[in-house]
Amino acid sequence: GAVVSQHPSRVICKSGTSVKIECRSLDFQATTMFWYRQFPKKSLMLMATSNEGSKATYEQGVEKDKFLINHASLTLSTLTVTSAHPEDSSFYICSASPQRTSGRMETQYFGPGTRLLVL
Amino acid sequence: AQSVSQHNHHVILSEAASLELGCNYSYGGTVNLFWYVQYPGQHLQLLLKYFSGDPLVKGIKGFEAEFIKSKFSFNLRKPSVQWSDTAEYFCAVTRNTGFQKLVFGTGTRLLVSP
């Protein structure tokens, strides 16, 4: 159980185009989904927190107009990199946290990541 | 700001050696603690977690970690490593409140030689 998928696994695009990445929780409902960015040989940096049915909360320094997040259902969140540039090339990882029943913090389960290369 | 430190960036061990990876955090309140592993070419997987109770936590694949509150530490251990343990290990912390923001350490790359 607790499987999270991401699509696509890798994408190459031209500078100036937009790219959409999907994150799905396959066997549980996720109240909250998270989007991270991982640079080579670096740790994961949280970009934003996405709650179903509400606006995402972005971390300091992350441009919300550039990284559009939509959490339309309890099993799907999308990240759209708008007008992508070469510096946006990175590994983007989502995670999902099961719907809470007790108010207790739940574990995050991670997707396999999407490697974006902007030419 | 809350931070997580992993002091060992690279560790090289022979098979059957014992492993201990350090993790320290800076937040003074109640925390939840995690160790995640990322095998080459694979996604992050949860090794073990601590929310409350027994500070010695046992995880998958023979790993365990001990929460020492006075030292703000959550070190990962395994008595005898295998070649298949070659991976990157991340310690992560979140506050024990409603918001689940995970703060990751910089990771430790473990190489186990056969």
Tokens of A43: 């740790």
* Average pLDDT, rounded, for chain A: 89
Tokens of A34: 């998270």
Mean pLDDT of B104-113: 94
Residue A87 has pLDDT above 90, yes or no: yes
Answer whether A56's CB lies under 8 Å from A78's CB. Answer: no
Q: Quick one: pLDDT at residue B27?
A: 81
Mean pLDDT of A67-92: 94
Chain B hits for A97, CB-CB cut-off 8 Å, are 100
Chain A hits for B97, CB-CB cut-off 8 Å, are 105
Distance CA B14, CA A10 (A): 34
Closest residue to B106, CB basis, from A32, A34, A42? A42
Cα B58 to the chain's mean position, in Å?
12
Q: Quick one: pLDDT at residue A100?
A: 64
Interface A-B, measured as beta-carbon pairs within 8 A, has a size of 49
Pick from A4, A26, A43, A94 the residue to mutate for testing the B interface (most B CBs within 10 Å).
A43
Confidence of residue B24 (pLDDT cuts 50, 70, 90): very high
Place of tokens 């001990």: B66
* Single-letter amino acid, residue B104: F
Residues within 8 A of B (CB atoms), A 32-71 only: 32, 34, 42-44, 46, 49
Confidence of residue A105 (pLDDT cuts 50, 70, 90): low
Answer whether A62's CB lies under 8 Å from A40's CB. Answer: no
| Contacts of A36-40 spanning 24+ positions with Cβ under 8 A | A36/A92, A36/A93, A36/A94, A36/A95, A37/A90, A37/A91, A37/A92, A37/A93, A38/A90, A38/A91, A38/A92, A38/A93, A38/A113, A39/A90, A39/A91
